[in-house]
């Protein structure tokens, strides 16, 4: 009787043997440190393993991984994916897994920090985020929600022009 390798073991093999092998343990530890449920842990490993397969097929080096490459995988590859099983094909799971991967790779200095947009609204939002973080100690999710709302307000009011907070009236 032939033995069949579990999908989770296959995912781990792709991480341990592929181009992300030097970062595989750090990625797993990152998930453990965040107390991910077993199903989330497996989904993340599956999403990254699928991404690693795709990187290999496309001959994309680790140092080139960024939001654009992740977007290409999610937007162009996943909808037409014909990769051999087992692979994680759920877009939401893959997106979350790859967001965590970007954080780990950046923390390890394997990839560059994301390029910062330089519009006046973006600059104001960065200052506001720093204020919320360092002065008020707000959690990342709270800051993210506030930035989304403030960003819409500032874009509607100022567009690409300079931001003048005193010009905002009720």
- Look at residue 8 in the predicted model and tell me its pLDDT: 52
Across the range 21-39, mean pLDDT stands at 92
- Spatial contact of 111 and 65, defined as CB atoms under 8 Å apart: yes
Q: Per residue in 79-130, pLDDT tens?
A: 999 987 778 899 999 999 999 999 999 999 999 988 777 889 999 999 998 8
Q: How far apart are CA 162 and CA 119, in angstroms?
A: 8
- Residue whose C-alpha is closest to residue 117's, from 67, 74, 165: 67
Residue 12 confidence (pLDDT): 56
Are the CB atoms for 32 and 42 separated by under 8 Å? no
How much is the pLDDT for 4? 44
- In total, the chain counts a number of residues equal to 170
For residue 86, say if its preceding peptide bond is cis, omega within 30 degrees of 0: yes
In angstroms, rounded to a whole number, what is the distance separating the alpha carbons of residues 150 and 155?
8
Mean predicted lDDT score pLDDT of the chain? 87
| Residue ranges of domains in the chain | 7-107, 120-167
Question: 162 with 120: CB under 8 angstroms?
Answer: yes
pTM of the model: 0.66
């Amino acid at each position: 009787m032939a033995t069949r390798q579990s999908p989770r073991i296959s995912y781990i093999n792709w991480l341990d043997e592929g181009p992300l092998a030097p970062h595989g343990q750090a990625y797993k530890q990152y998930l453990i440190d965040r107390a991910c449920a077993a199903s989330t842990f497996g989904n993340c490993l599956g999403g990254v393993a699928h991404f690693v397969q795709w990187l290999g097929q496309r001959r994309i080096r680790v140092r080139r991984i960024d939001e654009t490459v992740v977007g290409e995988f999610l937007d162009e590859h996943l909808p037409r994916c014909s990769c051999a099983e087992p692979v994680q094909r759920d877009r939401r799971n893959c997106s979350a897994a790859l967001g965590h991967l970007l954080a780990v790779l950046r923390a390890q200095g394997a990839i560059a920090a994301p390029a910062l947009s330089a519009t006046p609204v973006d600059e104001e939002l960065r200052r506001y985020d720093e204020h919320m973080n360092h002065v008020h100690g707000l959690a990342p999710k709270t800051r993210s929600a506030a930035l989304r709302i403030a960003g819409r307000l500032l874009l509607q009011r100022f567009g690409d022009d300079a931001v003048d907070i005193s010009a905002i009236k009720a």
